[in-house]
């Protein structure tokens, strides 16, 4: 379970760039990294050093069925990617992305977006991770209430990467798209002039 912010564009041209002009692709990845890194670093800074509630902190060596809180695991899982993704089931691919990869990080990021999980109680036979089997009927809402508020961005709502994305006020995406546009313009110019070489 991962949470992502994706920046979409022409991934096919990126792949052609990597194949025929690897130096240009390498430079583009560097520019994208420079645009996304501040958002990632700020998101990591939003991770509380200790669990926001008693009972969630615990073992640090396993995320288990319901992962216990571990700041290091969350921070390590917040990363960015500067290469195009594979085409997903909806036919889309991303040019770059910021990711919150750990299960515990995704829970902290997005818990409460659609309200607390339905309560079924500990005796229910459900194996679904979308229901609460706590002894406490109100555990789901209490869990959400103990977390920082969700912050809305143009990419979605969350507490870490989405909050940092909102704080960037479009600067990160603007810088990323500008770098991509400049690189793709140069690629097309090289192609028109017959200056493309095939990478080994």
**What pTM, to 2 d.p., does this model score?**
0.84
Considering only 6-20, 45-59, 123-137, which range has the smallest mean pLDDT?
123-137
For residues 166 and 151, the answer to whether their CB atoms sit within 8 Å is yes
Report the alpha-carbon distance of residue 89 to residue 143 in Å, rounded: 33
CB count within 10 Å of CB 138 equals 12
For residues 52 and 147, the answer to whether their CB atoms sit within 8 Å is yes
H or E element that contains 189: helix 171-192
**Distance between the two ends of the chain, CA-based, in angstroms?**
36
Domain ranges of the chain: 3-111+149-192, 113-146
Tens digits of per-residue pLDDT, 12-42? 788 888 888 889 999 999 999 999 999 999 9
Distances (CA, A) of 27 to 5, 21, 157, 172: 22, 10, 31, 17
Distances (CA, A) of 194 to 3, 24, 180, 191, 197: 41, 15, 21, 5, 9
Which are the contacts of 14, defined by CB distance < 8 A and separation ≥ 6?
Answer: 25, 28, 83, 84, 95, 180
Tens digits of per-residue pLDDT, 70-126? 999 999 999 999 988 877 777 678 889 999 999 999 999 999 988 777 767 667 666
């Amino acid at each position: 379970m991962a949470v992502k912010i994706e920046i979409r564009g022409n991934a096919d041209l990126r792949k052609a760039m990597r194949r025929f002009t690897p130096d240009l692709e390498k430079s583009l990845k560097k520019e994208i990294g420079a645009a996304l890194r501040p958002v990632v670093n700020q998101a990591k800074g939003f991770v509380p050093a200790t669990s926001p509630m008693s009972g969630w902190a615990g073992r640090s060596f396993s995320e288990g069925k319901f992962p216990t809180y571990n700041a290091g695991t969350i921070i390590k899982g917040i990363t960015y990617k500067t290469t195009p993704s594979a085409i997903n089931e909806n036919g889309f691919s991303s040019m770059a992305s910021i990711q919150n990869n750990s299960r515990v990080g995704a829970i902290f990021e997005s818990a409460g977006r659609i309200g607390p999980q339905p309560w079924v109680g500990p005796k229910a036979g459900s194996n679904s991770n979308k229901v609460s089997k706590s002894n406490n009927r109100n555990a789901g809402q209490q869990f959400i209430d103990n977390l920082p508020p969700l912050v809305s961005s143009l990419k979605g709502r969350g507490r870490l990467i989405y909050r940092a994305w909102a704080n960037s006020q479009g600067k990160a995406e603007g810088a990323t798209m500008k770098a991509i546009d400049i690189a793709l313009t140069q690629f097309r110019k090289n192609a028109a002039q017959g200056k493309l070489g095939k990478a080994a």
